[in-house]
Structures are given as C-alpha cells and as structure tokens.
Amino acid sequence: MKNIENKINKAFHNIDLPEFDNKKLNEKKGFVYMEKKKRNIVPYLVTTCTLVFCLLIGFGIYNNNFKVASKIGIDVNPSIELKINKKNKVIDVIANNDDGNKILSGMDLDGSDMNVAINALIGSMVKNGYIDELANSILISVEGNSEAKNEKLRQEIVNQLNANLTNNNFSIVSQTVSNNQSLESISKEYNISLGKAQLIQDIIANNNLLTYDDLANFSINELNLISSNNENIKVEGNASDKAYIGFDKAKEIALKHADVTDVTNYEIEMDYDNIIVYEIEFKVDNTKYEYDIDAKTGDIVKYDIDSHRNIDTSNTESTSNTISRDEALDIALKHAKANNVTTKKIELDDNSYEIEFIYNNKEYDYDISLTGKILEYSIDSYYYDDDYNTSHAKITRDDALDIALKHAGVSNVTNTEIELDDNEYNIEFRVNRQEYEYEINATTGKIISYEIDN
C-alpha cells in the first residue's frame, strides 16, 4: 500500500511549481471594496427646470424618509432585521427565522425610532425566554454603505442598550458588516443572517479547524463563548457559561486525569469539536498534555499526551544490545498498561521501532530504541466509532506474517511493516532487493492480494 502512495508523493513532487511572487504579500488583504450604488442621473432626459427642481426635492424627501440608509441585525436566536432611514426611523422589519416571527407577531414597529424598536424587540425576547441567565448574548450588526456611519450607529446602539439594560446581566456582541458576495452566499446557504455569518467568519478566521457547518446552528451565546480573544469582535459584558461546568472545574478534571497536582502555566479556552468543550493545555517537564473536556458533562472527550524525544539518549545508543520486534511491543504495552490491543503498525526504521496500536479507544504511538528505551510516545484519544473498533480480527499479526512468508517462500526478512486497517492486514517486507506487499483478511487469513516488486 505504501508503494502506490510513494509513487503519488513522487509524482506530485515532480510537478514544477513557480517561485512565490513576493509582490503579492504587499497587496492589501481583508480590504473589502464596496461599490457605490449607481444612481440614475436624469438631466439629459429632463427638459424643464421645474421638473428638475421637483425631482430633486422629491429625491431628497425620498432619500431622507423612504430610502433604506442602514440595516440593523439583531440576533439572539430569533433573528430580526430592521431597515432604517437617514433619520433612524424604522421603515421595515423582517424576521429571518421562525423564532424571529414569534417575536414580531403583533408588533408594529414601522415609523418608530430605531432605539425604541430595538428595546421593544429585546424586551420581547426576554419575556419569551430567549434571553436568560443561561444564554445572555445579543448580536447587533450594522450594515450600510459608509463604514464610518456604520461604526457611529453601532456605538450609538450599544450605548443606548447599555443604558437601558443596566439591571440585567447581558453580553452585547456588536459589529459593522460589509456586505460582500461570499458573506451573502454563506448567509443564504445556511439560512442565517448576514451578521451571524460574519461573526462565524471571524471565529473561523481565528480557528481554521472550525467550519460553517459546525457553527451555523450555534446560538449567539455559544458563538460568543467560543470567540474569546478575537479582536475583530466587540463584546460588552460576559457571555454566560452557567450552562457549563466552568473553567475551574474543567482544569480540575484534567489535572486529576494527568495525575499532576498543580500547573502554573496552562491555557484554557472554550472551543468546539463536535460539542462545546473546554480545551486545556499544559506542560510538565518534557511532556505536553492536551485535554478536551465536555463543557456540559465534564467528561473527557479527547486527550493527547506527548512526550518529546530525548535526543541525548538516542545518540549514545550502542547497537550491540538489540531487542526484537516483539520485545519492543512488550515494552510499549507495559508502559501503556495495555493488553489485548489491536496492533496497527510495527516498523523498524532508522534504528528504532515505531509502534502504533489501539487500546481502549485510544491511539498509542511509541518510538522505541533498539536497546529498549522509550524515545517518544503519544497517547491520543478521540471519537472512535464502536462499530469499527470492535475489530473482527481473529488471526494475530504474527499469524498473518506467517501466512505471507509461507506464500512468498521466504524466511529471513528485513524491514517488515504490518498494519491492521479495516479488518485487513497490510504486510510489507523485503528479501534482498525484492519488496513484497500482502493484503490479508484478518478474520479468515485469506490472501486478498499480493505484489512483488524488484
């Protein structure tokens, strides 16, 4: 199997790629060019001054009163958009989702002042239970043609909200929105407001491992919680994490599992990885610990312990005292306190054994020197599907190797590699200059395919 992958690797490296064009680095990025709306200029068609005059006055009235000057998005879970004119009076109100419709029903906000309307809407959201002490975040997004005006409006709204909401523990997330095509297509695709799409975009820009699929269904409070430390997002007040176990509890759980009494230097933040988690990182001596803890239940959903190779010991190694493949595996198993493992790989490489196995839904990686020293190891636990994990392997790794060796008619082999994936052993070994590759069914021991390469 490695064989074809090596060929793919080689083929791609044979592609001639150009040098990087350093000029491109100086191009301004993240700058969104807003096209001005084209206006109809009438003079050529108009024959009389009076008509021009009337039109200009009419245009002015239209501009001040009926033309949408800005759009204000309010997202909690209900998502509502206010269209306002130059005088900050509401021209139109639209609900972007069903919860928004519930809030709007029976409310007539047309013609009212922007701040009055926002207050009424937020009041109704509190009354209907959309904002409470478990989820206290409100997203305000201001969209319009002038960034300066947007920013001014944003400040005005936030100040007004702060003044009105003093008795309540709210967290107000606010932003100005530059409408652009990619944002609009995301908002349409996920059926979320432009403001929410931009908030998610900012979060993803900070953590590229997240996706729109992950976050589109999040409430604003959840987004607020995981967007900590993001300078693009302006937040007043703290998002409520009362629905979760809290930072201190999460840290306690991780330290207990790692069997470490206290760490001075650690990082903790809320993150999302299929569920909302507390992500904790700390280092003790040469070992790095990483935990993901379910923010609701406190369960450890994932952890990674990484000890780094001690270079001194690997260099002073003598080659006289070499251990066998099985002895290396024993050392790793003893260290992992594991038995009955699904071995995925044992490879002799550069004077050390690389061993990979699965035990208790965790992936263990060891690098063991020929003298039996553990040079490096990592334990990685992750979501592991039970149906896959209950491996149907009936024959052992050694049996599988025997079958392959017998078939090949050889006995003294070097550089063996055995991997168990998807109930198939993939075995590679060399005899002299020939490379053998076998795929063997792990239940029946039947040879599925083999290849001999010179």
Partner 1 sequence: MELDSYLEKISFNDHQAFDDLYNLINTNVYSFALSILKNHDDALDITQETFISIYHNAYRYQSQGKPMAWILTITKNLAYMKIRSNKKEVDINNIEFKTNDNYDKILINYLLENLNDLERQIIVLHSLNGFKFHEIADILDLKLTTTLSKYHRAIKKLKELMKEEQ
- Interface with partner 1 by CB under 8 A: which residues? 1, 4-18, 20-22, 24-25, 27, 29-30, 181-182, 185, 204-206, 208-209, 211, 213-214, 281, 288, 290, 304, 306, 363, 380, 382-385, 387-388, 421-422, 424, 449
Q: From CA 448, how far away is CA 225, in angstroms rounded?
A: 51
CA distance 421 to 371: 29
Minimum distance from residue 179 beta carbon to partner 1 (Å)? 16
On whether the CB atoms of residues 420 and 442 are closer than 8 A, the answer is yes
> CA dist 213 to 25, 173, 203, 204, 216, Å?
30, 21, 13, 11, 6
Residue whose tokens read 């997240």: 210
- Residue 391 or 432: which CB sits closer to partner 1? 391
Minimum CB separation of residue 65 from partner 1 in Å reads: 38
Q: Measured from the CB atom, is 7 or 256 closer to partner 1?
A: 7
How near is the Cβ of 19 to partner 1 at its closest, in Å? 8
Q: Give me 293's structure tokens.
A: 């803890």
- Beta carbon of residue 188, minimum distance to partner 1 (angstroms, whole number): 11
Q: Cβ 21 to partner 1, closest distance in Å?
A: 7
Which of residues 130 and 366 has its CB atom nearest to partner 1 in the complex? 366
**What is the Cα Rg of the chain in Å?**
32
- Is residue 381 a contact partner of residue 361, using CB atoms and an 8 Å limit? yes
Q: Which amino acid is at 355?
A: I
Give least dist CB 426 to partner 1, A.
Answer: 9
CB of 141 to partner 1, least distance (A): 21
Beta carbon nearer to partner 1, 10 or 39: 10
β 424-431/414-421 pair status: antiparallel
Kindly state the smallest distance separating residue 341's Cβ from partner 1, in Å.
Answer: 17
CA dist list (Å): 69 to 6, 72, 356: 59, 10, 62
User: In the block, which residue shows the tokens 């993803």?
Assistant: 204
Using the 8-state DSSP alphabet, how is residue 340 labeled? S
Q: Return the DSSP state at 25.
A: G
* Residue among 160 and 206 whose Cβ is closer to partner 1: 206
Alpha carbons within 13 A on the beta-carbon side of 448: 13
Q: How far is the CB of 450 from partner 1 (least distance, A)?
A: 11
Distances (CA, A) of 253 to 245, 262, 292, 434: 11, 12, 10, 52
Cβ closest to partner 1, residue 65 vs residue 185 = 185
Measured from the CB atom, the residue of 66 and 382 that comes closer to partner 1 is 382
CB 52, min distance to partner 1, A: 42
Q: Are 367 and 375 in contact (CB under 8 A)?
A: yes
Calculate the alpha carbon distances from 187 to 30, 201, 390 in Å.
19, 11, 41
Task: Provide the minimum distance between the beta carbon of 402 and partner 1 in the complex, in angstroms, as a whole number.
Answer: 23
Q: What is the distance between the alpha carbons of residues 41 and 209, in angstroms, rounded to a whole number?
A: 48
Q: Is the four-CA dihedral 436, 437, 442, 445 of positive or negative sign?
A: negative
Look-up: residue for tokens 């879970």?
77
For partner 1, which is the closer residue by CB, 6 or 169? 6
Q: Is 159 or 389 the residue whose CB approaches partner 1 more closely? A: 389
Nearer CB in complex with partner 1: 18/43: 18
Instruction: Please report how close the Cβ of residue 413 comes to partner 1 at its closest, in angstroms.
Output: 22
Instruction: Write the DSSP assignment of 50-100 as a string of letters.
Output: HHHHHHHHHHHHIIIIIS--EEEEEESSSEEEEEE-TTSBEEEEEESSHHH
* Closer residue to partner 1 in complex, CB, 15/45: 15
Nearer to partner 1, 18 or 129 (CB): 18
Closest CA to 32 of 198, 156, 164: 198
- Which residues, at least 6 apart from 400, have a Cβ–Cβ distance to it below 8 Å? 418, 425, 427, 440, 442, 445
